[in-house]
Structure 1
Amino acid sequence: MIDLDDTDRAILRTLSRDATVSAGALGRKLGLSQPATWRRIKRLEDQGIIKGRRLVLDNDKLGFGVTVFLGIKLATRGRVSLEDFERAITAIPEVQVVHHVLGRFDYRLRVVARDLPDFERVLRRRIMTLPSVGEVEANVLLSEETFPGPIG
């Protein structure tokens, strides 16, 4: 674990809420100069604590009003490799996130679609046609809140 002080944690909390905050604005908020703030951010990046900054798109405004979480259990482990499944599933544009997990399902996916008929099309024509797909469970997202998580 990397040793973080209170200022490092404050930087991480602020950037996790809004990664577009400038080093100058962040420094003013924390009582640091812009160069000192930038050096701290750079150190956090160099240490791998900050892995990158992402653009967050509004799926609703882009016309994708339905988000579904899929649990997928592969049919037979020996016939298709995990790498082959991952390569095939990530080639489907509606699949936003793929998690290889331990438990009842082998994978958890986040899938977006324009509406429920569009999701059904993606499920039937793209996902269920993969030779390795066995059991599938779908959960439709009703609402979502995101939190930065612990920074300690």
Structure 2
Amino acid sequence: MSWDETDMAILRVVQQDATLGAGAVGRAVGLSQPAVWRRLQRLREAGVIAGRRVDLDVEKLGFGVTVFLGVKLATKGRVSLEDFERACMSIPEVQTVQHVLGLYDYRLRVVARDLSDFERVLRRRIMTLPGVGNVEANVLLSEERRPGPI
């Protein structure tokens, strides 16, 4: 399927605030509510809109440290990638698991209350995962939200 400029405008609006109804989106892009509703349905059915999510402020929830971990598997042949990914996702502090190409096999985004809490998660949970070899940690100092590619 191809997407026109109106579809792209609708996607920009809902990307900023997925809670908006079709009427509010229509006012933002200059279309009627029914026209926007039909376009949103088409975008959902095509899989362009895969869901909705809520961005939580992890600092306000008490998680003051975010760390990006590069993980190199020690024994790729002996541990399936799916098993490693599933084990990572069972750790509540792990927000994302990304299989990447480069120096490391995986990139994990981990949140913790403070550095000692992160150390506990690293030692007791992440380093005990099947197949973990080398790990490199990068502590997030600041983050700017950038708009998506649309």
Aligned residues between the structures:
150
- Residue deviations 1:90-110, cap 9 Å, x none? 111100100011111000000
Q: Who is 1:117 aligned against?
A: 116
Q: 1:51 and 1:135 mapped to 2: Cα distance?
A: 34
Q: Name the counterpart of 1:43.
A: 42
Q: Secondary structure at the match of 2:44?
A: helix
Matched with 1:96 is 95
Aligned to 1:17: 16
Name the SS of the counterpart of 2:138 in structure 1: strand
Note if contact 2:13-2:28 (Cα within 8 Å) is conserved in structure 1: no
Partner Cα separation in structure 2 for residue 140 and residue 85 of structure 1: 22
- Partner of residue 77, structure 1: 76
Once the two structures are TM-superposed, the CA of residue 72 in structure 1 deviates from its matched residue by: 0.1
| Cα root mean square deviation, aligned | 1.1
Match of 2:25 in 1: 26
- How far apart are the structure 2 equivalents of 1:114 and 1:43? 42
- Conserved 8 A contact 2:64-2:113: yes
Structure 1 residue 149: Cα displacement: 2.4
Q: How far has the Cα of 1:147 moved from its partner?
A: 2.5
Runs of 4+ in structure 1 deviating by more than 4 angstroms, as ranges, are none
Stretch of structure 1 that moved more, 74-83 or 133-142 = 74-83
2:36 is aligned with what amino acid?
T
Letter in 1 for 2:139: V
CA distance in 1 between partners of 2:148 and 2:61 (Å): 27
For the residue of structure 2 that corresponds to 1:142, the secondary structure is coil
Structure 1: stretches of 5+ with no match in the other structure: none
- What one-letter code is carried by the residue in structure 2 that aligns with 1:16? Q
**Identity, % of aligned pairs?**
73
Q: Which residue of structure 1 aligns with residue 4 of structure 2?
A: 5
Amino acid at match of 2:5: D
Q: TM-score, normalised by structure 2?
A: 0.95
Equivalent position amino acid for 2:125 in 1: R
Structure 2 CA distance, aligned partners of 1:11 and 1:144?
Answer: 26
User: Aligned-pair distance for 1:18?
Assistant: 0.9
Q: Please state whether the residue corresponding to 2:135 is helix, strand or coil.
A: strand
1:148 Cα deviation after fit? 3.2
Shift of 1:56: 1.0
State the SS of the aligned residue for 1:99. Answer: strand
